[in-house]
Amino acid sequence: MKDNKTYRIMISGGGTGGHIYPAIAIANAWKEKHPATEILFVGAEGKMEMQKVPEAGYRIEGLPVAGLQRNLSLSNLSFLFKLMKSLNRSKTLLKEFKPDAVVGVGGYASGPLLFMAQRNGIPSLIQEQNSYAGLTNKLLAKRAAKICVAYPHMEKFFPADKIQYTGNPVRKDILFLEGKKEKAFAHFNLDHGRKVVLVLGGSLGARTINQAVLADMEALEQGGYQVLWQSGKFYFNDMQSKVASSGLRHIHVLEFIKEMDLAYAAADMVVSRAGALSVSELSLVGRPVVFIPSPNVAEDHQTKNAMAYVEAGAALVLKDAEAVGKLKSTIDDLLADQVKASQMSENIKKLAKPEAAKEIVEALESIIG
């Protein structure tokens, strides 16, 4: 039910699409229910949220905050200076905007803003996307009013009485894939006679996944597959050049796929990193999945995300160190066993939380009172 009350909500965090897109989904769901609301995002200067949030139609302010490196690094010398500057900037933004509540979705910018909001008695909600909680969220949890999580058994990280199991909010268009396959094949210029392998390495790209596709792309095309391949910003030019010089006709490399609903509608199976947003989207999509978790993330949380699905019979895992040279055989084994592939699809759909954004809105309403 919509109402016309004017709320003021601040949403902080970012750094990767796995933080940004859930934040935008929360904002959209809140605005749908409370159209008169004013929403202000707070991100980290120079990070992708400073572009993606305005593209979604929201205002954003940047903080100079940066991450603390876990090894000895010269960049750590400026960490405390940037942190103090970000705390002061957060205090000013809170004073000027006067929010009813603040939402933190993880990432550098959520720490200073939520810390200052909690210190000033402003209700705060944390949205933790991963099965292994991030350090910032763990530190902020004690004074948060609500903590919305995407996995069960998160009481090992957070106070049990504050946890709400909502799942991760995702973009609305992927909830409705029925009837889109023909449009998807036309949009991506795909061949109806070949199975579609969708390869996702995130918006910036995944080096190992790209190398694995390069190593096996001739064998994949000769084996009757076509590959819809999001190579990512950092790798696109190199991947595009190598595909063009190969003469292969069914390896479709793209820097970034904006029409993810069409990509999912076309796919017979998916190869993906195991970031929180990807895992949540793939649960809703219900395609057989091979996860290749990134080993280069805090606390190896992508492996933990993926293994939660493997234990439920909902996905396969290919180790990053083994991906180059084993990608095609893994795809062959999965798609050759249609009974197994169908069971995986059914199992992953059981883990989906399609009402996540709506439930987070309700949790946010409860802390505003």
In this structure, what are the phi and psi dihedrals at residue 361, rounded to the nearest 5 degrees?
-60, -45
130 annotated ligand-binding residue? yes
Nearest to 86 by CA among 78, 96, 77: 78
Q: What is the DSSP letter of 45?
A: T
Cα 143 to Cα 100, 115, 153, 218, distances in angstroms? 16, 9, 20, 54
171 annotated ligand-binding residue? yes
134 annotated ligand-binding residue? no
Alpha-carbon distance of 69 to 72, in angstroms, equals 7
10 Å CB burial of residue 195 (0-12, 13-18, 19+) is: middle
Give first-to-last CA distance, the chain, whole Å: 16
What residues have CB less than 8 Å from 167, skipping those under 6 apart? 150, 280, 352, 353, 354, 355, 356, 359
257 annotated ligand-binding residue? yes
118 annotated ligand-binding residue? no
111 annotated ligand-binding residue? no
Nearest to 179 by CA among 262, 64, 280: 262
Q: Within 98-206, where are the H helices?
A: 110-119, 135-140, 181-188
Neighbours of 314 (CB within 10 A): 25
44 annotated ligand-binding residue? no
283 annotated ligand-binding residue? no
276 annotated ligand-binding residue? yes
Cα 173 to Cα 169, 180, 205, distances in angstroms? 12, 11, 23
346 annotated ligand-binding residue? no
46 annotated ligand-binding residue? no
Tokens coding 64? 């100079």
281 annotated ligand-binding residue? yes
Angle between helices 301-310 and 276-285 (to 10 degrees): 20
What residues have CB less than 8 Å from 276, skipping those under 6 apart? 18, 22, 129, 130, 150, 168, 301, 305
**Residue given tokens 């795909």 in the structure block:** 190
Question: Residue 122's Cα: distance from chain center in Å?
Answer: 27
Contact 282, 348 (CB under 8 A): yes
The binding site for UDP-N-acetyl-alpha-D-glucosamine consists of: 16-18, 130, 171, 203, 257, 276-281, 302
Tell me the binding residues: 16-18, 130, 171, 203, 257, 276-281, 302
